[in-house]
Amino acid sequence: MFYKLHVDNDPALTPRPESWLMPTKQGLYCQPGDFHIDPLRQVPRAVITHGHSDHARPGHEHVLATAATLALMRTRMGAERAGARQQALAYHEPLAIGDVRVTLVPAGHVLGAAQVVLDYRGSRAVVSGDYKRQPDPTAAPFEPVRCDLFVTEATFGLPVFRHPPAEDEIKRLLDSITLFPERTHVIGAYALGKCQRVIAMLRQGGYDAPIYLHGAHMPVCDAYRALGVALGELRPATVAAKADLRGAVVLAPPAAMADRWARRLEDPVLCMASGWMRIRQRAKAGGVELPLIISDHADWDDLLRTIRETQAPEIWVTHGAEEALIHEAGKMQIRARALSLIGYEDEE
Amino acid sequence: MKAFAELLERLLYAPARNTKIALLLAYFTGRPDPERGYALAAIAGALDFPGAKPAVLKALAQARTDPFLFELSYDFIGDLAETIALIWPGTGTPHPPDLPSVIRALHNAPRDKIPGLISFWLDECDPSTRIALIKLITGGLRVGASLRLAQLALAEMGGVEVQAVEEVWHGLEPPYEDLFSWLEGKGAKPDTQERPVFRPVMLAHPLEAPELSRLDWAAHRAEWKWDGVRVQLVATPYGKRLYTRTADDISSAFPEILEAMNFHAVLDGELLVIRDGAVAPFSDLQQRLGRKIVSAAFQAKFPVGVRLYDILFDGVEDLRARPFDARRARLEAWFAMQQPARMDLSSLIAFTGLEDLAALREGAREAAIEGLMLKLGDSPYLAGRPKGAWWKWKRAPLSLDAVLMYAQRGHGKRSSYYSDYTFGVWNEKGELVPVGKAYSGYSDEELIFIDRWIRNHTTQRFGPVREVEKCLVFEVGFDAAQLSTRHKSGVALRFPRILRLRTDKPAAEADRLETVRGFIV
């Protein structure tokens, strides 16, 4: 099940991870390769894990990422801002950058998302970017990689976050559509990844009617389709034609839900697809009628399982609720450190 | 248990009343006996499990989890039931316990076995179901669905009037299999003849200008409209109950009334605090409402009585089809014979026509009098609000000019508008102090105007509440002013509503607190 087995080295000769990989104010920096991973500011050379805007920022000189991530970056920020020189690297294909060997391995987060595996003089660090372990028809599944240092996120780093199977949540949505056939189900979903996953899972669940999209979602869905992801018939949702939307499923960015955009529809059922929907008060405060616990991120159990599977003796936590995760890692005899990188968001 | 959990969750989030009714209807139609009956009992608050208290649950959770992680999680979520449900180890089994077996076990198990049972069930359930389980056993469902909504769903299920469901309700026991059987057309209507059940009450329409000129005065009887709580007294050989007009059983809050009900009848009247024959303002009665245990000292401080105005049953004889005049004669005869303690008769007011009634209505400035009731002499006692039988003719509202201070969003179809307003008047120190909250009285156009005004003049937010610049003046109508210890201003208004917007009036010219105090009788 592991992508590549770790080769045991003489610990005396293996450099400690912090001697060649370090947090800087630009983000995580790999010194022997002279590049940043998911830099928070413009840098000469960037390796990008995935296309979400807090990880893929515009204006870097040289950008290395999977072909899908590059395509999504171009869709979202325009070809010029996505990097002056863009280089695609397929999953599992090692590339030497200076003294470092870089390999991208699926992270299961969104289409094109990759963990960055860094091998340097017998020492291996894996930078996960964001990741999840639940199945997703629109993203290649996460592969655990044994390593000496695992750099993880902790968006849902509290033991109360346990995401139910996403299929169960989609089933609740389909039940609601059956129960309220006259009402428009408007689903708040992040434009990149969540939106397409919800659509693909609705299709898997047997929902084959046209699905309507808020203007912000169409370009990303088109990019997904160009990259070979089937999404069925999609139509633009315009409030002007709200009579057509009776009984339909509409997807919109989370911000449009709080707005009067969604409320102008006829008797809408406001749904929100997010891991935060686990917390009732969050859902209620947002005026959500049908919260769907569907997340792009690993829940607490999957964070711990992943850390165990990497067998890493040390973890660094980039962002999220690191306090609980570091406490739990300590109980597992794993060294743990919070990087507290400022700029990654809890949005999903 | 899972279907019940799903129902509770959807009820919690559903903003609209009709949505909640649809959810309840789908559940009652789709789920088997006795599960649906126990769910109904849970929603109606008809279940109580001693020995399953929040402290027991917290101790169970802390024994099974890391205390540091528990505290971090509890801080993050802020709700104990939810924290326990989510942090409990494991994600359940494919076949969690069903609702009836949980309820039976809770009723039958000895107290010291209950924590072990709860622990076992939490292991078996997934996190969403655990929340429902915990809320069920600690008795704090708070799902935003009342017995009333459940009864409306049941009425729809059976294609009957909601009054028919209300009428049998208090004679039934969980899991209500006879009720569902009747509603599904499989069995007879449950027999509640001599049980102390609630009978749907007759309500009045407000008397407006058009009817005023048309009313046949000679055919109507007049009584004072007292500002108390409308109650129904039911006493049969099977038991005694005191109900509100919405069928809430408030017997336990008024033991002295129950004690005085030594008869076999169903009576309609007004519950009031009466001292030396004088009716105290509504705020005194409020002190007695919502209490489970009432001490003797408290009973003495706020002595209650019932002013009777109608009789529905005398013994087993149903009088509701008889005309008002006949019922009134029967009530007077009944009262003369029974002489029940803590009760008197609402007197009929003699009048000849509109002029002397109008004068009486305007002359009544006693705080406990809201106005007049007019009842058609030959009308039967009908459930609901029949047209043209009973009229309430409230005296003209008092009014004052107050300044908008805070606003909050409304509910249901008004949920995207700021429609709940807290307003205040100037005190002696020149500060604005809140005197009340109004949710009604404005037109749709005014609502849209005020909503936009609030969005453009917000100075601070406290969760859902917005504080606004203190410069919009309303003319606020109200029925009475009372002393209040709950408001900083020391006064509270009864039934405040917006009469009109006074955009022409500067805030500094709004009314002063001393003016409001002057309205207190």
Kindly report the pTM of this predicted structure: 0.73
Place of tokens 């009037």: B161
Contact B77 A279 (CB under 8 A): yes
Residue of A162, A172, A328 lying closest to B86 (CB–CB): A162
| Interface membership of A180 toward B (CB under 8 Å) | yes
For the segment B77-97, the average pLDDT, to the nearest whole number, is 90
pLDDT of residue B330: 97
Minimum Cα–Cα distance from A282: chain B residue: B77
Which of A215-229, A246-260, B109-123 has the least mean pLDDT? A246-260
For the segment B482-492, the average pLDDT, to the nearest whole number, is 83
pLDDT of residue B413: 57
DSSP B143-169: -S--HHHHHHHHHHHHTS-HHHHHHHH
Which of A157-161, A167-171, B35-39, B197-201 has the least mean pLDDT? B197-201
Contact B26 A279 (CB under 8 A): no
Contact A289 B13 (CB under 8 A): yes
| Interface membership of A289 toward B (CB under 8 Å) | yes
Told to judge if B186 belongs to the known catalytic residues of this protein, a careful annotator would answer no
Residue of B13, B87, B416 lying closest to A284 (CB–CB): B13
Residues of B in contact with A300 (CB under 8 A): none
Contact B68 A327 (CB under 8 A): yes
Contact A179 B26 (CB under 8 A): yes
State percent of chain A over pLDDT 90: 80
Q: Which of B225, B240, B375, B470 is catalytic?
A: B225
The region, left, alpha or beta by phi > 0 then psi within -120 to 50, assigned to residue B210 is alpha
For the segment A118-145, the average pLDDT, to the nearest whole number, is 97
For the segment B454-476, the average pLDDT, to the nearest whole number, is 87
**pLDDT value at B78 more than 60:** yes
Q: Which residues contact A205 (CB under 8 A, 6 or more apart)?
A: A167, A170, A171, A174
pLDDT of residue B124: 95
Q: What is the pLDDT of residues A171-226, one digit of tens each?
A: 999 999 999 999 999 999 999 999 999 999 999 999 999 999 999 999 999 999 99
The contacts found for B66-74 with CB under 8 angstroms, 24 or more apart, are B66/A159, B66/A327, B66/A328, B66/A331, B68/A324, B68/A327, B69/A158, B69/A159, B69/A324, B69/A327, B69/A328, B72/A158, B72/A321, B72/A323, B72/A324, B73/A158, B73/A159, B73/A160, B73/A324
Q: Tell me which H or E stretch contains A65.
A: strand A62-65
Q: What is the pLDDT of residues B308-360, one digit of tens each?
A: 999 999 999 999 999 999 999 999 999 999 999 999 999 999 998 888 888 88
pLDDT of residue B385: 87
Quickly state the pLDDT bin for B417 (edges 50, 70, 90).
confident
For the segment B115-122, the average pLDDT, to the nearest whole number, is 94
Quickly state the pLDDT bin for B160 (edges 50, 70, 90).
very high
Give the gap in angstroms from C-alpha A119 to the nearest C-alpha of chain B: 34
Please give the ipTM for the structure prediction: 0.89
Q: What is the pLDDT of residues B419-444, one digit of tens each?
A: 899 999 999 988 999 998 998 888 88
What phi and psi values does residue A195 have, to the nearest 5 degrees? Answer: -55, -50
For residue A160, give the DSSP letter: T
For the segment B272-276, the average pLDDT, to the nearest whole number, is 92
**pLDDT value at A239 more than 70:** no
Q: What is the pLDDT of residues A5-44, one digit of tens each?
A: 445 556 667 889 999 999 999 999 999 999 999 999 999 9
pLDDT of residue B116: 93
Quickly state the pLDDT bin for A4 (edges 50, 70, 90).
very low
Minimum Cα–Cα distance from B412: chain A residue: A267
Tokens found for residue B343: 């009760």
Do the bridges between strand B229-236 and strand B265-275 make them parallel or antiparallel, or are there none, so unpaired? antiparallel
**pLDDT value at B494 more than 80:** yes
Whether the CA torsion B89, B93, B99, B103 is positive or negative: it is negative
